[in-house]
Amino acid sequence: MKKILTYIFLLAGSLMLANSCSDDLNQRPVIETDAEGVYSQAANYKNVLAKLYASFVIAGQELGGGNVDLATNFDLFRSYFYLQEAGTDEIAYTWNEGDDLWDISFISWDENDVWVSDSYYRIYYTITICNEFIRNAMDGAIGRFTETEQSDIRAMRAEARFLRALAYSYIIDLFGQGPFVDETTPLSNYKPEAYSRTMLFDYVEDELRDIEEEMSETTEYGRATRGAVQALLTRLYLNAEVYTGTPRYTDCINYAKKIINSNRYSLESDWARLFNAENHLRTNEIIFSFVVDSEHTVTWGATTNIVCGGATGNAEAEVGVTGAWGNFRVRGEYVALFDDASSTDTRRRFYSEGQTQYIDGGLSDASNGYYSMKWSNLTDAGAAASNTQAVGVNTDFPVFRLADIYLMLAESVLRGGQGATPAEALTLVNEINERACGDQSGNISSTKLTLDWILDERGRELLWECTRRTDLIRYGRFTGSGRIWQWKGGVKEGRAVDNKYNIYPIPATELSANPNLQNANY
Per-residue pLDDT of 264-277, as tens digits, reads 999 999 999 999 99
Burial class of residue 353 (count of CB atoms within 10 Å of its CB; 0-12, 13-18, 19+): exposed
Same structural domain, 32 and 125: yes
Contacts of 434 by beta carbon, 8 Å cutoff, 6+ apart: 440, 442, 443
- Residues 127 and 229 reside in one and the same domain: no
pLDDT more than 90, % of the chain: 86
Same-domain pairing of 384 and 517 = no
Q: What is the pLDDT of residue 7?
A: 33
Task: Identify the domain boundary among 358, 391, 424.
Answer: 391
**Separation of CA 221 from chain center:** 18
Q: Considering its fold, how many domains does the chain have in total?
A: 3
CATH code for position 246: 1.25.40.10
Q: What percent of the chain has pLDDT over 70?
A: 91
pTM of the predicted structure, to 2 decimals: 0.93
What is the structure's pLDDT at 22? 38
Residue 31 is predicted with a pLDDT of 41
Residues 133 and 46 grouped into a single domain? yes
The length of the chain, given as a count of residues = 522
Whether pLDDT at 139 is above 70: yes
**pLDDT one-digit tens code per residue, 8-58:** 333 333 333 333 343 433 333 334 456 778 899 999 999 999 999 999 999
**Residue 194 DSSP one-character state:** E
**Residues 338 and 316 grouped into a single domain:** yes
Which residues lie below 8 Å from residue 361, measured CB to CB, with a gap of 6+?
Answer: 367, 368
Q: What distance, in Å, lies between the first and last C-alpha atoms of the chain?
A: 48
> In terms of Cα–Cα distance, which of 515, 397, 508, 504 is closest to 170?
504
Shared-domain flag, residues 442 and 518:
no
Looking at 376, 391, 406, the residue that finishes a domain is 391
Q: How confident is the model at residue 59 (pLDDT cuts 50, 70, 90)?
A: confident
**Whether residues 252 and 285 fall in one domain:** yes
Does residue 447 form part of some domain?
Answer: yes
Question: Given a cut of 80, is residue 419 above it in pLDDT?
Answer: yes
Q: For residues 243 and 198, is the Cβ–Cβ distance under 8 A?
A: yes
Is residue 481, in this structure, part of any structural domain at all?
no
Pair 338, 403 in one domain: no
> What is the reported pLDDT for 297?
86
Question: Considering only CA atoms, which of 380, 457, 373, 487 is closest in space to residue 108?
Answer: 487
Structural domain includes residue 348: yes
* Domain CATH code at residue 133: 1.25.40.390
pLDDT digits (tens, 9 = 90+) for 462-486: 999 999 999 999 999 999 999 999 9
Residues 285, 239, single domain; the answer is yes
What integer is the mean pLDDT of 116-144? 97
Quote the mean pLDDT of the chain: 92
456, part of any domain: yes
Structural domain including 313 reads 293-391
In this structure, the answer to whether residues 231 and 305 fall within a common structural domain is no
Residue 478, Cα to own-chain centre: how many angstroms?
18
In this structure, are 60 and 178 located in the same domain?
A: yes
Which value, in Å, is the radius of gyration of the alpha carbons in the chain?
22
Instruction: Name which of 259, 306, 305 is nearest 286 in CA terms.
Output: 259
- pLDDT of 74 reads 77
- Same-domain pairing of 39 and 151: yes
Report the alpha-carbon distance of residue 277 to residue 512 in Å, rounded: 43
